[in-house]
């Protein structure tokens, strides 16, 4: 779905390590033509974010890479989203991605996926989930 929505997906090494740490799907991801790992050209912003903002390495590198590339960044962590927005980056998250997928006709309904996320203990505010469902036309 990511590739269908956004084309090429580029992640920094710290995000790759987080995603593939458990090994689940790592081999498939390594072969995905739409996904690449890119090192930061300049690590100073990522180091600053880790040191002063309390963000994790993955979020910090993702923000720094998006800043270097002038790209959209996918973040769910609220402090990371706030910091990315302060830096002038375009930010979306899991729920925004699912809303984009619905609008693009890639999924028929958002509510079952939101319900699955809740069951998996994803941490989204009730207000945010309701707003996304309303935007998807599924607020009933």
Domain count, the chain: 2
Does residue 140 lie in a domain region?
A: no
Query: Which token pair is 21?
Result: 């740490």
Residues 83 and 106 in one domain: no
Q: How far is CA 93 from CA 25, 38, 84, in A?
A: 21, 20, 12
Does residue 102 lie in a domain region?
A: yes
Strand partners, 10: 36
Residues 59 and 111 in one domain: no
Task: Check if the beta carbon of residue 11 is closer than 8 Å to that of residue 71.
Answer: no
Residues 71 and 48 in one domain: yes
User: With 90 as the cut, is the pLDDT of residue 123 above it?
Assistant: no
Does residue 70 lie in a domain region?
A: yes
Q: Which domain holds residue 101?
A: 94-135
Residues 90-114 have pLDDT tens digits of: 999 999 999 999 999 999 999 999 9
- In the chain, the largest separation of any two C-alpha atoms, in whole Å, equals 47
Q: What is the pTM of this model?
A: 0.89
Distance CA(97)–CA(74), nearest Å, equals 8
State the pairing for strand pair 35-37/9-11: parallel
Residues 23-58 have pLDDT tens digits of: 677 788 888 899 999 999 999 999 999 988 889 999
Contacts made by residues 47-53, CB under 8 angstroms, sequence distance 24+: 49/83, 53/79, 53/83
CA 97 vs. chain centroid, Å, equals: 8
Residues 79 and 100 in one domain: no
């Amino acid at each position: 779905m990511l590739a269908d929505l956004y084309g090429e997906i580029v992640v920094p090494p710290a995000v790759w390590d987080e995603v593939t740490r458990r090994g689940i799907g790592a081999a498939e991801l390594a072969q995905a033509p739409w996904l690449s790992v890119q090192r930061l050209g300049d690590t100073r912003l990522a180091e600053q974010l880790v040191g002063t903002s309390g963000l994790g390495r993955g979020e910090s590198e993702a923000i720094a890479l998006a800043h270097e590339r002038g790209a959209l960044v996918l973040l769910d962590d609220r402090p990371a989203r706030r910091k990315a927005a302060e830096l002038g980056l375009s930010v979306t998250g899991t729920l925004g991605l699912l809303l984009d997928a619905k609008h693009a006709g890639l999924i028929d309904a958002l509510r079952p996926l939101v319900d699955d996320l809740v069951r998996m203990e994803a941490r989204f505010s009730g207000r945010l989930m309701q707003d996304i469902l309303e935007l998807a036309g599924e607020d009933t």
